[in-house]
Amino acid sequence: MDLEEAFKKLREPFPANQISKLPKPTKGRDEMAKISRGTCKICGGYHAISNIIHLDYVGHAALTDRLLDVDPEWSWVPMAVDQNGLPLFDKQGGLWIRLTVCGVTKPGYGHADGKTGGDAIKEIIGDAIRNAAMRFGCALDLWHKGDLHA
């Protein structure tokens, strides 16, 4: 696949079966804590059943599949490492990375909003990869709040 074809593939809209729903509260934390919780009919998650909107997003697996389709040797590296050679997180707990696809490198940033532990680190890495992939055009239609090409 040549570079032009690869970058066109990265920008293709994701099919509906690869788009997930992310619940986001519409009220403050204290108000949301008072709302009864249940299994959501939209996303399948367990959260407040009112005052929630759902945002479309492409998850780590679907994005990884797209990157592998375009460049089986894509890679990412942290922008900084600690004294042990591990990714260095910033003061907010986020991670800056460099994502390389087809020999082209773009920056990305990931954060897990106060979560901790191993799952938070995986979430941060996935978020950083999705953020950097957006700079290649991946899922731009989902990031944009309107009609991007109207």
* pLDDT tens-digit series, residues 25-69: 999 989 898 899 999 999 999 999 899 999 899 999 999 999 999
Task: Give mean pLDDT, residues 124-140.
Answer: 95
Nearest CA to 76 among 110, 112, 111, 118? Answer: 110
- 142: which 2 tokens? 């989902």
Integer Cα distance of 93 and 18 in angstroms: 28
The pLDDT assigned to 148 comes to 64
To the nearest whole percent, how much of the chain has pLDDT over 90? 74
